[in-house]
Amino acid sequence: MSIYQLGLDYAKQQDILDELSSYRNRFHIPKDKHGNELIYMTGNSLGLQPKSTKSYINQELEDWANLGVEGHTEAKNPWLPYHEFLTESMANIVGAKPLEVVVMNTLTANLHFMMVSFYQPTKTRYKIVIESDAFPSDKYAVESQLRHHGFDDREGLILWEPRKGEELLHYEDLEAILESHGDEIALIMIGGVNYYTGQYFDLKLITELGHKYNCIVGFDCAHGAGNVELNLHDSGADFAVWCTYKYLNSGPGSLAGCFVHERHAYNKNLNRFTGWWSHNKQTRFNMRHEFDVLPGAEGWQLSNPPILSMAAIKASLDMFNEVGIKKLTKKSKKLTGYFEFLITKLNNQDIKIITPSDSDKRGCQLSIQVKNADKILHDKLTEAGVISDWREPDVIRCAPVPLYNSFEDVYKMVEKLKNILND
Ligand SMILES: Cc1ncc(COP(=O)(O)O)c(C=O)c1O
């Protein structure tokens, strides 16, 4: 028997019982032209704006106006060490040690910087494994790394593919790839939570498999950070990257995160691109010093960071700190489980949820495949006030986000979908 029930009253009651329900009021919820709140289901694409963000950014604008360059040391939150104010909260969110985490650059840029260090191909070991349905930017990035090192990108790329007629990936198939090509593979680079299916991979299992064959293992956790408990340190992954504008609600195009496992923290021999922000903080401003790399993930920074973007990240991370990722994922499992229950209860043969049904193998997103549908379905949902995300050829991605989505949102979304499908 299901733990969930049908009906709007049940949804409303769950919102009353939800200890995180008040957080919704701390976000700006987009509205339609009549001023009604939209049902926002696209936190997997761009998270909503916390109401506190403006004051965090204003603080830095004021300090800049009043202090000019002195703000580097005299601002309320001095700019020189500003990125350090984010480290501990970010480390908690992704399950890492502070030494292993830094916020810098943007996502695809970080992926390249990580590959500069961790993709060190030889004549015989140069291939890269990715999911066949990896996010395009990741695919383009690894292809360009192959070409950069003089390899053919088609020959050098190995795709971990779903079985015929399936969408999700099997670890046995990755193992089979490693069994036959293990000594040719330099790098395994997987999306921690696949952007299309929402499948949350077992990062530890993949890492152990990869390391068994002496491959470097990295993850793009864009769809995992702030959504699932990543436990990056314990996974043993060599590196990971993620953005902060999805589940971490820090604004369009905001800065990204980067994880480098502790075991690489003091390795000064790793090839890397460097700049003055990767240099020892004590002697950084002596200017004529020989390069002395910082230990840990900070040693991969290049530039002094954009404080206004970091202020938006700080606003969001302070809220995450208050709630904690454990409480968030607990609610998330319940909310998405409820969403899955309602979709299943539609009993519509044209609908298939391609996201894993095991709540430990997914985050909050459900990818709903609708047979014979096209983008018109998505457009009708938008007209009905549901902001969802359409992926060709026939998938709607919806992510009820535990910080600001309610059980009522989920109920109403499914009702609207039902009405559109019945039409
Ligand atoms: C999995 C994944 N990788 C890479 C990217 C590209 O991110 P960016 O434009 O911040 O480099 C995205 C963007 O949504 C993504 O979802």
Alpha helices for 51-135 (secondary structure H): 53-67, 71-74, 84-94, 107-118
Instruction: Give the Cα separation of 80 and 73 in Å (integer).
Output: 6
Question: What is the 90 CA–ligand 1 centroid distance (Å)?
Answer: 18
Q: Which mutation among 107, 113, 115 tests ligand 1's pocket best, with the greatest number of atoms within 8 A of CB? A: 107
pLDDT score at 353: 97
pLDDT score at 151: 98
Report yes or no: 346 and 418 within 8 Å, Cβ to Cβ: yes
pLDDT score at 153: 97
pLDDT score at 286: 84
pLDDT score at 290: 87
pLDDT score at 35: 95
| Residue 68 to residues 23, 60, 62, 80, 307, Cα–Cα distance (Å) | 35, 11, 10, 13, 13
Q: Rounded to the nearest 5 degrees, what angle is found at the Cα of 281, between the Cα atoms of 275 and 284?
A: 55
Q: Identify the residue whose tokens are 């004549």.
A: 123
Instruction: Give me the residues of the chain with pLDDT under 70, please.
Output: none
Q: pLDDT tens digit string along 387-415?
A: 999 988 899 999 999 999 999 999 999 99
pLDDT score at 195: 97
pLDDT score at 282: 87
| Residue 355 to residues 7, 285, 333, Cα–Cα distance (Å) | 24, 50, 13
Does any ligand 1 atom lie closer than 6 A to the CB of residue 108?
A: yes
Ligand 1 atom nearest the C-alpha of 243 is 10
pLDDT score at 361: 98
Does any ligand 1 atom lie closer than 6 A to the CB of residue 195?
A: yes
Ligand 1 atom nearest the C-alpha of 45 is 14
Q: pLDDT tens digit string along 325-353?
A: 999 999 999 999 999 999 999 999 999 99
Q: Which mutation among 44, 113, 137, 245 tests ligand 1's pocket best, with the greatest number of atoms within 8 A of CB? A: 137
Does any ligand 1 atom lie closer than 6 A to the CB of residue 106?
A: yes
Ligand 1 atom nearest the C-alpha of 109 is 11
Does any ligand 1 atom lie closer than 6 A to the CB of residue 365?
A: no
Ligand 1 atom nearest the C-alpha of 134 is 1
Question: What is the 39 CA–ligand 1 centroid distance (Å)?
Answer: 24
Does any ligand 1 atom lie closer than 6 A to the CB of residue 196?
A: no
pLDDT score at 408: 98
pLDDT score at 251: 98
Does any ligand 1 atom lie closer than 6 A to the CB of residue 339?
A: no
pLDDT score at 372: 84
pLDDT score at 9: 98
| Rg, the chain, Cα only | 22
